[in-house]
Structure 1
């Protein structure tokens, strides 16, 4: 009896990885697994950021080949609005090609690198917990901190890979003033900023039990960092910029002074945030968040009892975020409309593009060009919203709803209605911000109505984008990520193609290429009606496919 009891005591509760190196047990395996899962995703991110930077640097050499052109650009960007859109004034003292790259591109790409890093962290931590996979993995010999450590390691590796590619590729362009030492710092600034925001995400994933909430909070931090940078650079002393990791990266004054020490601030903040994330992870259960769930009302509101009301509730945070962001984006572009003539007067390729657009003034032509960028951002929202039914299906939340009397068409149609209506709303907000700021900067009050109308004219193109997404969801659900091709192609051909003079047939392949270029062009209702009919046909086709295929169940 004693021997049996002793044997049971020895085998009843095997010790788990509680302290020391045990909390990181399995980290290496999880890193390899995460890299394998993200091999395509991260490759696309890194190559897109690299090629975008290289093409921009090459365009600078072509657009500003004359020192007088660079001097004119520096004079224009020296205004508060120009500095808010670009970077610190010190870059303008000797506006070489390298200084242009550091001032105009570093702050923008740092935001994109931050976005990549946040998505890496949430994908491999909070998303794993929300789907239940983390609990399954941690039931094996895997340490408590292994998931977060692996996610941070993957984010760091991705940022270092981007930094190395930038450091090697930029000097290879052979552009004056873009040297090896400056390019090494330029790449390191991207990596340091991306690591900071990855560490910020390590905190946000501890606060909430939902992936979208964790991503939203981290992206809000990125937005605040960019706004602080913009406000500081447009002010007199720039103190606010020192509160932002984006501001720290730009204050390396890459290709001008090549200062490395501001990156130490990034690394210190990243270390502090990462350590905080690890500590907070010990204070919650797997699958839970530190922020307590808000208790709902005893009875659901009437709106939540309908498919559309539920869809609105699910999309509410994303819709509010994009609406506010596009309003601010439109206001920022509108604030420089009054200086567009002086800023672009001596840039031949831009002038040729504006002449092809037409318009009674440079401000109207430039506004038509910028409107493509604004609508592409709105297209990002509608793709996210249109693909939400697929997320609900794969997470197992669609099956209980569709097991009731709710039809597939009504359930999917509610999400599509929010995507289409929400896309139109964010266009309206962007047009209001663009028009109000543009009217103030130019002194032309009529520009407000013109730019609101110009923004809303792109609504049918957004609806076509939703239609493409729902066709993929209905017939080819595993290929639904292909819906992102529509906004990416629209940006490359619709915006860059105007400057680089791509063939006209390439623009015709995009739904955005058929929209009248208001306010420079005259309103033509025919293409808008055709796009609306195409969108309706695509939605019908996608819903028909969803009704015929099997539902992915858990």
Structure 2
């Protein structure tokens, strides 16, 4: 007795086709967009809605000729030009010109940040986690990963440009509103593409994601500083060295010049070509910059969890410290002009009156310190979630296989996050205090503003506690920890200008801190916040002790 067996011909494997080194690029672009289906829309909508909200507020804040005249005199000062853009916008200071002058440089930094993080996420991070090697073992060209990452960044930048052109164009900001809005959106897209291509170079130089991102972000910071120095000094030489200065000199809503955008696009093409060329001179997973050989024996600090955690965090801590010191100094430099800047703006006067304070400078400083504290909380969240990154990469498993306990390992990262957050707050306070004292001629501001900034340390510790609880009990939802600084900024700063109900600010730990130096000191909420932070941290560590470790 015999039986016939039918055999099924297996389906041919799906091939990633493409011309040579770019094979598989289209498929990788689709895959990367799938991975970023939440991240990129959040970035784009935040930039879009933030710009539209600011443009709408300009029409309200500066509706009267007196308010516009006050804005002209304030923004025409060296400090005002350093924080905004070139003086030529002031020649015809329509609502559109205000938007281009005061918002374009700031949003260009954020668009560059979005583009840099997108490129490094899909290039260097893929290599560092060994996923790129696995993908490239299939029919994928050598340049496909970089080309796909750049393609996703370009798509995101163009999507932002289209939304801004449509949204701003519908607001009637200037006589040439449609053209100016289109130029504004494409200017942001051009500068975003440029910084994406800069990240394409840094991703080849450094062997680590943090190094590649940090180097590209340093270029963004340098571009902003060059632009600010050139505009404040009254000469264009330094500003023409900055891509942010290039797009600002397109003068949307004023002259509507298109050719400065070509400088960004040509420079971006050169940077992209350099990135592709450099990628052929290294191995997958390696960087062009040789890893510096360490000492033959580890120092005593590296043999302890706390010292090792500090070694991992020190570069980011130094970057945040320097950045917050400069940010504080920039705001402090205009405290002496606070009365002239804000005295005729009704909404700002109302917001400052709620804060209190003997002078406008004190009230304004109290509002700005909230912003500095929120930026410091970004460092705290990043540092607190570092153990999750170590766990995902498989490095935590090797460490915890030794005699090192889970609580000591995670607690060392938390200790660095708490102490580091307090340290960057101190540097921010020194920056605004020293610059504010020089601007107002009041040396007492150094101590008062530094102490006012440090008062937000317990709120930072609560932020770290929330991130620790998510890491310990809900590790898949750790990104929700970013809601704390975002909500604090929206309610603590923008909420005062947009007249949100005060009870919304009470839901943020930053809303319970006395707003020194305008308000009087109250130790009770700081003590309560400290106790809440301690409870959250202990709860998070207990959750991490109980749950399973993610293994690879």
* TM > 0.5: yes
Quick one: distance in 1 between partners of 2:239 and 2:392?
42
Does the Cα contact within 8 Å between 1:96 and 1:177 map onto a contact in 2? no
Quick one: distance in 1 between partners of 2:523 and 2:88?
48
Deviation at 1:176, TM superposition (A): 4.4
Does the Cα contact within 8 Å between 1:170 and 1:178 map onto a contact in 2? no
Residue equivalent to 2:474? 476
Residue equivalent to 1:214? 212
Question: CA RMSD of the aligned region, Å?
Answer: 1.2
Deviation at 1:178, TM superposition (A): 6.6
| Gapped regions of structure 1 (runs ≥ 5) | 1-15
Does the Cα contact within 8 Å between 1:76 and 1:82 map onto a contact in 2? yes
Does the Cα contact within 8 Å between 1:97 and 1:177 map onto a contact in 2? no
2:505 matched to 1:507? yes
- Alpha-carbon displacement from aligned partner over 1:213-256 (angstroms, at most 9, x marks no partner): 00000000000000000000001212100000000011101100
Does the Cα contact within 8 Å between 2:94 and 2:173 map onto a contact in 1? no
Residue equivalent to 1:233? 231
Q: Choose the corresponding residue for 2:124, options 106, 119, 126.
A: 126
Residue equivalent to 1:26? 24
Quick one: distance in 2 between partners of 1:464 and 1:124?
32
Residue equivalent to 1:51? 49
Does the Cα contact within 8 Å between 1:97 and 1:178 map onto a contact in 2? no
Does the Cα contact within 8 Å between 1:63 and 1:348 map onto a contact in 2? yes
Residue equivalent to 1:12? none
| Gapped regions of structure 2 (runs ≥ 5) | 1-14
Residue equivalent to 1:538? 536
Residue equivalent to 1:328? 326
* 1:270-349 matches, cutoff 5 A: 270-349=268-347
- Alpha-carbon displacement from aligned partner over 1:124-181 (angstroms, at most 9, x marks no partner): 0000000000000000000000000000000000000000000011122244447110
Quick one: distance in 1 between partners of 2:516 and 2:109?
29
Residue equivalent to 1:108? 106
Does the Cα contact within 8 Å between 2:128 and 2:285 map onto a contact in 1? yes
Residue equivalent to 1:265? 263
Deviation at 1:68, TM superposition (A): 2.1
* 1:155-234 matches, cutoff 5 A: 155-177=153-175, 179-234=177-232
* 1:425-504 matches, cutoff 5 A: 425-504=423-502
Deviation at 1:93, TM superposition (A): 1.3
- Alpha-carbon displacement from aligned partner over 1:27-74 (angstroms, at most 9, x marks no partner): 000000000000110000000000000000111111111122112111
Residue equivalent to 2:91? 93
Does the Cα contact within 8 Å between 2:16 and 2:27 map onto a contact in 1? no
Residue equivalent to 1:13? none
Quick one: distance in 2 between partners of 1:499 and 1:157?
33
Quick one: distance in 1 between partners of 2:236 and 2:325?
24
Comparing 429-438 and 231-240, the one that deviates more: 231-240
Quick one: distance in 1 between partners of 2:536 and 2:28?
40
Deviation at 1:17, TM superposition (A): 11
- State the 4+ residue runs in structure 1 displaced beyond 6 angstroms: none
Cα pair distance change 1:148/1:81, threshold 3 Å: same
2:37 matched to 1:39? yes
Q: Choose the corresponding residue for 2:73, options 75, 92, 100.
A: 75
- Alpha-carbon displacement from aligned partner over 1:63-86 (angstroms, at most 9, x marks no partner): 111122112111111111111011
- Alpha-carbon displacement from aligned partner over 1:444-494 (angstroms, at most 9, x marks no partner): 111111100010000000000000000000000010000000000000000
Does the Cα contact within 8 Å between 1:171 and 1:178 map onto a contact in 2? no
Quick one: distance in 1 between partners of 2:330 and 2:464?
27
Count of residues in Structure 1 that have an aligned counterpart in Structure 2: 538
